[in-house]
Homo-oligomer: A and B are copies of this chain.
Amino acid sequence: MLGAISVHDAFSYRPQQGLSRDSVVRQRDGFENGTVRRLRAKEYIFCEGDPRTHIFHVEQGVIALSKVLGDGRRQVIDFAYPGDYIGLGLHGEYIFDAQATCAAKVKCIPASALEDAAASDPDLALTLYKAVLAELATARNLLVCVGQGTAMERIAAFLVRLRDRAAVSGPNGNVFSLMMRRSDIGDLLGLTIETVSRTLTKLRSMGVIEIVNSTEIHVLDEDKLERLAA
């Protein structure tokens, strides 16, 4: 299976090895403490291997965290939603790519600032520890889903998670926007965009969901959706 590298415009262009990376440019315009940075869909915040100068706090939108193999195949590791932190850890470099799946805003916090604060504040340190444990649990649950589930089970489980997220933040959890392309979903679940599309279509024809404008989902039968999830 070969995943294509989609290169859409100069702004979202993923820097290749050996070329000067645009993260250097980015640091000059908009990386001051607490600065909020606006991102367009498909724009990169950083790439795997970039020096880990900042932690980012998602204010708006969705950020895909992913790893890319040499031949272009991409695995999305997780999506970061408003409230989530990106880039925690002790490595000198980022260990994955971070890319907006839609228009987004992130607050940029110098990594040293957060780490200094954590060193003198046990509560903050515990919070960071818990955040990493949560990331670990998320990664393992996704692994179970991808390793054991059929396409239908993976898509259904993904939709259930989106629904649960929407349910806590709004009045009607059964209506939400995907905020991302089919390729982002496919790269999360280890499926092709065609399989994602076909599976969503099947869920629609089964009366489980309704799809508006390719991007907005209405869950019509949440019980059935949950039974379909792995």
**Chain A interface (Cβ < 8 Å from any Cβ of B):** 1, 3, 67, 69, 73-75, 77, 89-90, 95-96, 125, 128-130, 132-133, 135-137, 139-140, 142-144, 146-148, 150, 189-190, 230
Q: Which residues of B contact A125 (CB under 8 A)?
A: 125
Q: Which residues of B contact A137 (CB under 8 A)?
A: 95
- In the complex, A75 Cα to B139 Cα: how many Å? 13
- In the complex, A194 Cα to B186 Cα: how many Å? 27
19 A-B residue pairs with Cβ-Cβ distance under 8 Å, sorted by A, are A1-B150, A67-B140, A69-B148, A69-B230, A75-B143, A75-B144, A77-B143, A90-B129, A90-B130, A95-B140, A96-B140, A129-B129, A132-B133, A132-B136, A135-B136, A136-B139, A139-B139, A139-B140, A148-B190
A144 pairs with B69, CB closer than 8 A: yes
Where chain A touches its partner, the secondary structure class is helix
Number of copies of this protein chain within its complex: 2
A132 in contact with B130 given A69-B230, A146-B146, A190-B146 (CB within 8 Å): no
Interchain nearest-CB distance for A90 vs B (Å): 6
| Residue with the greatest number of chain B CB neighbours at <10 A, chosen from A67, A148, A190 | A148
Q: Which residues of B contact A89 (CB under 8 A)?
A: 133
